[in-house]
Structure 1
Amino acid sequence: MSTATHYHVFLSAVSKELGSYRAKVAAVLRRKGLTVCEQQDFRQGGGTLIQSLADYIAQCDAVILLVGERCGGQPTDAHAASLGEVAEAPYADYRAHSSETALSYTQWEYLLARHHNRRTLVYETTDDFTPDEPNPEGPADRRRQQAYRAWLRHLGKHTEPLTTQAKLVEDVLVQDFPDVPFTRPTNLPLSLDDFFQGREEVLEALRGQLRAAPTAGTGGVQSSVIVGKALHGLGGVGKTRLAVEYGWRYRTSYAALLLVAADSPADLDRNLAALCGAPVLNLPEQDVPEEARQRAAVLHWLRTTPGWLLVLDNLDTPEARQAAEALLRTQLPGAQGHVLMTSRLSNWRPALRPLELDVLTEAAAAHLLLTFTEGRRRPTPDEQTVAIEIARVLGQLPLALEVAAAYIATRRKSLRYYLERWQANRAALLAWFDEAVIDYPRSMAVTWQTSFDQLRQESPDAQLLLNRLAWLAPDPIPETLLAVPVPNAPPYAEDPVELLAHLTRYSLARQDLHSDTFTVHRLVQAVTRQRLGKAEADARLVEALGWVNDAFEGNAQDVRSWPTLEPLLPHALAVTATEYTEPLGNPEPTSRLLNQVGQLLDTKAQLREAEPLVRRVLAITEAHFSSNHPKVATSLNNLAALLINTNRLSEAEPFMRRAVAIGEENSGLYDPNTAIYLGNLAQLLEATDHLKEAEEMMRRALALDETHLGPNHPNVAIRLNNLATFLRVANCMAEAESLMQRALTINEASFGPVHPKVATSLSNLAALYQVTNRLPEAETFMRRALSIDESCFGPGHPNVAIRLNNLAIFLRFADCMAEAEPLMQRAFLIFHNLGWEHPYIHEATSNYTRLLMAKGHTQEQALASIQALLREAADQQPPQ
């Protein structure tokens, strides 16, 4: 029977038919202070489920039965026989009236309540009742349930009909249940309530997973002893806070809310024993001096009291994890509750349903920062934007955001002030800590100290890997990088894949389940770098720089290399950051990697991002090599090519002429770069109307490559295309076509049919066919070139805009205006959105204007339409 301060109610129903109805009743009764055990929350103990039901119902004050059309699962004959004489009398009465010889679990629950003379309330569904799910049971089960319902009516146990949830709740509330003074035992920290942000979906998923126990048989009979859940993730990601907020969110579903700090096996034992005291469980054993007896009393309470929540917190070592698992497995047989375990360890048994907790979304992180500092920060007009910036630099880590909010609030400063301090001296902010305002025992700088120590003891090579990864970007790292040896360093003693497993085990790295990548949080990287001494930091940076440089292998200007290079791009930018590499003073591999990155960004038309890198390469090579060194010439050429692409021809020319001069000065032995420099300078001269000199250089460049590389080399195709385009404009059509055909043949043989080099050849031939009135061939080649460039570069690349522009002009003259206009619009917007002065932007504007005028617009109307298009495009841009 219940104690004086508790009134126990057991709810019986077939879950898939009446689960939502039962849940409503449970919530109402818990709000009245009653202790409620739902059938769904019932867990099998050490014996059979039917025996556990009998034992539990014997202790209840009342049993509420929701009786529908479904029979539900039933115990085996052997399990039913285990009851012995417990229910012999009511069972005999039932058999005599119904002629049925088997009972389901829900039917047994009424017989057991009748046997123990418990108060019973029966609510029976009517014909117009809507079940949670349709009834799939067969004729035998349906007949058995109808016989049971007839027996209940025979006994006079039918009460109000069960029609809707609202009516059911009303009928339950009018019953004379006692309003008991119920105090739910708890030692959870206070809830953040409305300040808790960004975890709604996780809380709901956690609730669903804890309530959904494994099932056996066809009736959905629950068979778990304890439902456990291991929350694991990076230190500071909010595991404990999530567990605490879960407890408060669903407190009415639990008889007790308990938290035990379990950093070690000794802590687990000591803190379990402490639950015995008056502030929590208030057990009689609280006054005994022996801790072991107090702990045993708490374990007995957990085994004999259903419906509690227990949080085992900070299981961050293998020893702590093993002690917790042993507690659940061997010391709580028959216990009926939910256990949440928080840990930085990721290797948990599947039975504990491990759930990795990630950082907040960017929006939730910014909202948290703004909410925590509301009324305590100095407002500024840009604080919404700055909050997002801070969220980004802190990697959306909840603890880091809480520390930042406390720092801002205690100083009454603006968000901008914190961001500027972070950018100037992040080490000081990582070390800042004030226990009076932060609900956490340590600063960010030492948050992961335990994990670092365990990693070092378990695998020094894994710690070495982390020290190298600390210099990379916080973006996804391709696992293929692990297969690249670190240059000038001894190989790891373990397979690098195993080293990564060590990092993920301690949540110092996180592997993506949907791609072959992993990440290291930016603050883990920052703290790792901060912990290194100057000499070791320099050594690990040099190793990381060489490592990424060796992995960044391939032609950055060839789309076929992009699948390898693009995932490495953010990491190449990170290890070549000026603040890192300039103090080292080593030109290689810094300049080589910067050059590769610059070429990749240039080819991808990300010219604003590429230009400072290309200029840095030139500055490095000029500072560390002689003025006529080939590396200087290459750097000059690359910068000049970028300037040409952005229509800064006068600025590009001196760089280009210097590159050619150096190449010719060092051309005692053939250097293919010399032909490249000549070809680029020739294109610049053509664009500035120095046609004679341009043609001469184009022919020299072609001759050099044909002589030294052979007639079918891809470089020869470039020279052929450039010269042929020049000759087409000069109206030398026969020679131009011959050269273009040769270039197309070489490119198709070298790169295959779908490659930007092939698209260039096709586009050049299409232009020639158009002016020589071979229009079907011209259109076919234009469309093929457009298709290739769209597939290789994506829809917003300037090469795609050029192809669109050319095809639109062709269609305009073919009087296909309906197709021409949207193509011209796309081309115009691509050039406009690039944000720099592309050589074709004025031509595209002019072409679009002429197209609109050809449709009947005046020039003023055409310009107004263009402005309207730009406004519409701006409105559709996502906020920055």
Structure 2
Amino acid sequence: MSHQMIKWDFFIAHAGSDKEIAKQFYDGLQNHSQVFLDSKSLILGDDWDIALSKAQKQSLITVVLISSKTGAAYYQREEIAAAIAYARKNPNGHRIIPIYLDDECRESNEIPYGLRLKHSLIISENCTIQTAISKLIEVLKFLKNVDKKISDQDLSSSSVAKNELLKVFDVPFRENPLFTGRDEELQKLRERLISGKKAALTQAIRGLGGIGKTQLAVKYAYLYQYEYEHVFWVQLSNKFSKSDEGSIAEETEPKLQIVNSYVELCQKLRVPFDDSQPQTAIYAFQQWMEQNPNWLLIFDNADDPKLLKSFLPPQPQGHIILTSRAHTFDSLGILKPIEVEKLPLNEATDFLIERIARELEDSEKDFAEQLAKELDGLPLALEQAGAYIHESSLTFKRYLENYQRSKLDLLAKQKPVLGEYPKSVQTTWSMNFEAIRQQSEATADLLRFSAFLAPDAIPHELIAEGASFLGDSIHKFIRQFEDPMLAVVELLQPLANYSLINLAPGEEEFSIHRLVQEVMKAEVRSENEEQKWIVRVVNAMNAIYPHPDFSNWSTCRRFTLQCLVATGYIEQLKIETEYSGELLCKYGRFLCDIGEYLEANSLFLQALEICHSVLEEDHPLFGTSLNDLASTYMIQGRFTDAKPLLLQAIKIRRSVFGENHTSYAQSIHDLAYLYFCQKRCVDAEELYLQAIDIYRSVLGENHHYFAASLHNLARVYISQKRYAEAEQFFLQAMEIRRTALGERHPDFALSLNDLAVYYKSQGRFSDAEELYLQAKDIYQTVLGITHPHFAVTINNLANLFMDQGRYDEAAQNYLQTINILKLTFGPEHPDTKIVIKNYEQLKEKQSGCDKQAQ
């Protein structure tokens, strides 16, 4: 007799990595029973997929070996689902016995609910594999000795056969053998559907076209097919008249598609309705869904959720899933749809590697990861690229190099093969783009504009406040609203409805997939048009970028991604305008404030070149760019380079603003600092006093600019040993900063630090240490532990500890300071060298102390 005709006592379901343990169970059971184990029971030529399914159906007991690998074991999960289904339909004819190979895997959320309910065994010191085998044999003997159960099994088997004849499994797609990831989405979908809440019986899967919504629904249908009596599928996508990519879609009224599907389902289920009136199938099928439990209905591509409301039963007894590009589903009572995002980089890379079905060197795997990153985790694009590489036998490196040059042109060379995607990336979105153009030219222009931005964290302010730079259609639309930010929401809504963008709830920003950007860029007709949109990015970014005061740092950080793109365009395309120069200056000052001096220096150099090229020499922005570059030179200790820039800036600002202006005061304040660093204290004092008079006259004595000049003048007085005046000015400046800026501001920390330096010089070590620690805490919280200001304070603490003989604490602080300064300025910077020298002197003292102790 063929082994496929055998009635099996045991069917062993296991993960591939647990095959050795499975063999131990097989060896222990085979002398007492008929056991099916794939590696032992299949013979050459068997269709293993069919053979496994038949063997399990013909078995009395499915033994499920559960380990930490079970969640990722695709075929074992299929076998578990089948076992659960057989046991539910025929509880006396099929039994499931889970055996946990360790106690920890029992707590895994990946174990199907239907399996966790079963009485099980756990392999441990008290229950060895041999013990488990003995218990399995006892269960088998018990089942075979109960004639009633055997009789019930026969009756149930015939009932199962009868039910299977009527079962509808209407999924039109094959299961994708390379379906990757989405475990969290599948679990969330399943948990919501079986939660028992009436409102949860209908769930929506939403996301961008090509992101894998349909594939997720297909996977769910196959994964849980044995949990349902019937699985229905209603397809709402357009059908193409030709097979080529340039074909025109045949528009089919969505309502008619649903009616036709309901007619077919009524016929399959033998539900009566009036054949001459197809509309009667709607009510008939609705009634059936309210009267029959345990079914699944999937609406694929339901991009107009409101349309479905009249087709759904008020009291469904089964589960309903819809896939859609829509953004909201309130009309169906769905407030939180299942969001399908791009694949994480590791899963996207794994898909590409599996897709080409060949062994790879580690270097090729790196190129696969780079390609996955370029394609931004879009499953449709990954399938197109993978199919092309597989068919042409290209290396990932070669494909990546060509993709980076030709982008969509290369991607379009291969249509998707696996996954039942009907169209390529570009064709998938083309109809959406056209619909948006017809709906709103302003929204279409916003999509074009978004194509040239960083794809993530696009702030609404960029459109609301930069509208005057974004073209007539957007500008006119924004002006119609009293609140420009509300206008942006209205502009974005059509894009969200097609899932071409993702809105960030409560964040007033949105994101766009990189490949949507590439498709939009491909539609730009000329280099001049592309340049137009890029210049608009720069101008709009400059319009919204604030003056980088500390109070605006959070906004500056929020705009960083877009600012990097804009400044990148300025450098790459040599965009030389007043707006580009101004943006470089503002962004550079922010980078300088947060300690990124080298990057700031580069931006200031660019800004100066642009201002010199496009502005008159007495233009205020030209003076600003000179002053900004000089400030970074001084930080780097390049005082000789900084001086002529400051003198030129002073000349311009005196000419443009006069000598009673804050801009002029800023320049002479900075020149005073340069003189102080060069030990020219008399010259520094004179300039600081001028700056103080200007700030007092224009801003008043409670402004933090006034406090800054007062504070720096105190430092001059310390060097001149005018301690009483110095302490007075330090304290006055600190109180102004406390009131104007608050006690968590970096400038207040600077006051604490420098007052501590003074106290240390006076031998007031305890007072100094207290202030240093306060300053250190502020810098650590506000600037971070890699900022040079933080390094200054911990260096000063090290000096204090060294004077007190606390050498271990001093050494720790010196080393931390050296690491920060090397990272920021490099090992050759004067400040770095000074700290290294102090540390070496400390080590000598420590060595001397150690010798004395001996």
With normalisation by structure 2, the TM-score equals 0.70
Aligned-residue offset at 1:290: 11
RMSD over equivalenced CA pairs, Å: 4.7
Aligned-residue offset at 1:725: 2.0
Aligned-residue offset at 1:840: 3.1
For residue 202 of structure 2, give the secondary structure of its aligned residue in structure 1. strand
Matched, 1:268 2:258: yes
Q: Which residue of 2 aligns with 1:253?
A: 227
Matched, 1:498 2:490: yes
Q: Which residue of 1 aligns with 2:326?
A: 345
Q: Which residue of 2 aligns with 1:611?
A: 601
Cα deviation code 1:570-623 (max 9, x no counterpart): 22232343269947x561322222221111111111234333322221221111
Matched, 1:578 2:562: no
Aligned-residue offset at 1:797: 1.8
Structural mapping, 1:350-749, within 5 Å: 351-352=333-334, 354-375=337-358, 379=361, 381=363, 383-384=365-366, 386-429=367-410, 431-436=412-417, 439-479=420-460, 484=465, 486-487=467-468, 489-490=475-476, 491-493=478-480, 495-496=486-487, 497-513=489-505, 515-534=507-526, 540-553=533-546, 555-556=547-548, 558-578=549-569, 582=573, 585=575, 587-649=577-639, 651-660=641-650, 662-663=652-653, 670-688=660-678, 698=688, 701-702=691-692, 705=695, 712-749=702-739
Shift of the 679–192 alpha-carbon distance from structure 1 to 2, 3 Å rule, reads same
Shift of the 618–415 alpha-carbon distance from structure 1 to 2, 3 Å rule, reads farther
Q: Which residue of 2 aligns with 1:328?
A: 312
Cα deviation code 1:391-416 (max 9, x no counterpart): 44433322233333334444444434
Shift of the 284–266 alpha-carbon distance from structure 1 to 2, 3 Å rule, reads closer
Aligned-residue offset at 1:359: 2.0
Within 2, Cα distance between the matches of 1:289 and 1:379? 64
Within 2, Cα distance between the matches of 1:586 and 1:29? 65
Shift of the 844–310 alpha-carbon distance from structure 1 to 2, 3 Å rule, reads farther
Aligned-residue offset at 1:231: 0.5
Q: What letter matches 1:740 in structure 2?
A: F
Within 1, Cα distance between the matches of 2:218 and 2:719? 75
Q: Which residue of 2 aligns with 1:189?
A: 173
Q: Which residue of 1 aligns with 2:798?
A: 808
For residue 562 of structure 2, give the secondary structure of its aligned residue in structure 1. helix
For residue 797 of structure 2, give the secondary structure of its aligned residue in structure 1. helix
Structure 1: which 5+ residue stretches go unaligned?
8-23, 38-59, 67-124, 131-162, 215-222, 861-880
8 Å Cα contact 1:629-1:662 kept in structure 2: yes
User: Identity across aligned pairs (percent)?
Assistant: 27
Q: What letter matches 1:426 in structure 2?
A: K
Shift of the 850–273 alpha-carbon distance from structure 1 to 2, 3 Å rule, reads farther
Q: What letter matches 2:320 in structure 1?
A: V
> 227, 230, 233: which is aligned to 2:201?
227
> 288, 305, 315: which is aligned to 2:302?
315
Aligned-residue offset at 1:561: 1.2
8 Å Cα contact 1:403-1:438 kept in structure 2: no
Q: What letter matches 1:315 in structure 2?
A: A
Shift of the 567–260 alpha-carbon distance from structure 1 to 2, 3 Å rule, reads same
Aligned-residue offset at 1:293: 10
8 Å Cα contact 1:197-1:368 kept in structure 2: yes
Shift of the 604–782 alpha-carbon distance from structure 1 to 2, 3 Å rule, reads same
8 Å Cα contact 1:187-1:257 kept in structure 2: yes
Cα deviation code 1:757-780 (max 9, x no counterpart): 222222222111211223333223
8 Å Cα contact 1:467-1:528 kept in structure 2: yes
For residue 577 of structure 1, give the secondary structure of its aligned residue in structure 2. helix
For residue 329 of structure 1, give the secondary structure of its aligned residue in structure 2. coil
8 Å Cα contact 2:661-2:698 kept in structure 1: no
Q: What letter matches 2:339 in structure 1?
A: E
Shift of the 500–858 alpha-carbon distance from structure 1 to 2, 3 Å rule, reads farther
8 Å Cα contact 1:276-1:295 kept in structure 2: no
Matched, 1:213 2:196: yes
Shift of the 707–204 alpha-carbon distance from structure 1 to 2, 3 Å rule, reads closer
Q: Please, which moves more after superposition, 297-306 or 390-399?
A: 297-306
Aligned-residue offset at 1:755: 1.6
8 Å Cα contact 2:387-2:417 kept in structure 1: no
Shift of the 301–34 alpha-carbon distance from structure 1 to 2, 3 Å rule, reads farther
Within 1, Cα distance between the matches of 2:850 and 2:533? 63
For residue 578 of structure 2, give the secondary structure of its aligned residue in structure 1. coil
Within 1, Cα distance between the matches of 2:449 and 2:609? 27
For residue 807 of structure 1, give the secondary structure of its aligned residue in structure 2. helix
Aligned-residue offset at 1:566: 1.8
Within 2, Cα distance between the matches of 1:422 and 1:731? 67
Structural mapping, 1:45-64, within 5 Å: none
> 808, 831, 835: which is aligned to 1:840?
831
Matched, 1:242 2:224: no
8 Å Cα contact 2:389-2:396 kept in structure 1: yes
For residue 447 of structure 1, give the secondary structure of its aligned residue in structure 2. helix
For residue 604 of structure 2, give the secondary structure of its aligned residue in structure 1. helix
Shift of the 660–291 alpha-carbon distance from structure 1 to 2, 3 Å rule, reads same
Shift of the 722–32 alpha-carbon distance from structure 1 to 2, 3 Å rule, reads closer
Cα deviation code 1:697-748 (max 9, x no counterpart): 5555555555665555433333333333233234343443343334324333
Within 2, Cα distance between the matches of 1:704 and 1:473? 42
Q: Which residue of 2 aligns with 1:217?
A: none
Within 2, Cα distance between the matches of 1:729 and 1:170? 98
8 Å Cα contact 2:385-2:414 kept in structure 1: no
Q: What letter matches 2:299 in structure 1?
A: L
Q: What letter matches 1:447 in structure 2?
A: T
Q: Which residue of 2 aligns with 1:178?
A: 157
Within 1, Cα distance between the matches of 2:287 and 2:141? 34
Q: What letter matches 2:734 in structure 1?
A: L
8 Å Cα contact 1:276-1:283 kept in structure 2: yes
Question: How many residues get paired?
Answer: 700
For residue 752 of structure 1, give the secondary structure of its aligned residue in structure 2. coil
Q: Please, which moves more after superposition, 175-184 or 770-779?
A: 175-184
Within 2, Cα distance between the matches of 1:29 and 1:440? 27
